[in-house]
């Protein structure tokens, strides 16, 4: 699927006739982490990196994988598997999504990027259980019987 097609695809996988100016619609980049499908608003996404060398730094929480040098800017990298209390494992699809949240750049290492979806924000439900870390601030059912969890970027920055 081309970038243009991904940008104009709704959550049912059908192409939109034209981008709508509807204020309740928001575009999300979806990604996988330990078998969980998550989404992050494209408003936060700066870049997706593959094959990036991560420099480890001592005496930081285990979920902080290290730092990268992105065109002269030092960006901390959070391993989403470790942040969610899972085992860290890299594959050939592992990549880093660089986010800018409140003027702070941070990278999240994920198992892979899936697609870009236009989602009606009014259809997002609260999560039925309390998320101890507050990393998830909503969910929606996808057409394939899969649940998409929405990453709370503000909480991600606050807790790293």
pLDDT in tens, 46-71: 999 998 999 999 999 999 999 999 99
Give long-range contacts, CB 8 A cutoff, 24+ apart: 62-65: 63/160, 64/160, 65/109
Query: The CATH number of the domain where 53 resides is what?
Result: 2.40.50.180
The closest alpha carbon to 66, from 74, 75, 57, belongs to 57
d(CA 113, CA 61): 25
Mean pLDDT to the nearest integer, 28-32: 97
What's this model's pTM, rounded to 2 decimal places? Answer: 0.82
Q: Which two tokens stand for residue 121?
A: 């924000």
Q: How many domains does the chain have?
A: 1
pLDDT of residue 11: 52
Residue 67: which domain range? Answer: 3-159
């Amino acid at each position: 699927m081309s970038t243009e097609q991904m940008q104009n695809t709704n959550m049912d996988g059908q192409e939109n006739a034209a981008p709508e100016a509807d204020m309740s619609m928001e575009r999300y980049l979806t990604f996988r982490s330990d078998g969980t499908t998550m989404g992050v608003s494209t408003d936060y996404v700066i870049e997706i990196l593959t094959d990036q060398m991560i420099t480890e730094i001592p005496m930081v929480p285990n979920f902080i994988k290290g730092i990268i040098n992105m065109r002269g800017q030092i960006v901390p990298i959070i391993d989403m598997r470790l942040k969610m209390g899972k085992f860290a494992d890299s594959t050939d699809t592992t990549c880093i999504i660089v986010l800018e949240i409140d003027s702070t750049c941070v990278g999240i290492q994920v198992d892979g990027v899936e697609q870009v979806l236009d989602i009606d924000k009014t259809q997002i439900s609260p999560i039925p259980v309390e998320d101890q870390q507050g990393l998830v601030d909503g969910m929606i059912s996808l057409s394939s019987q899969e649940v998409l969890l929405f990453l709370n970027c503000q909480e991600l920055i606050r807790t790293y």
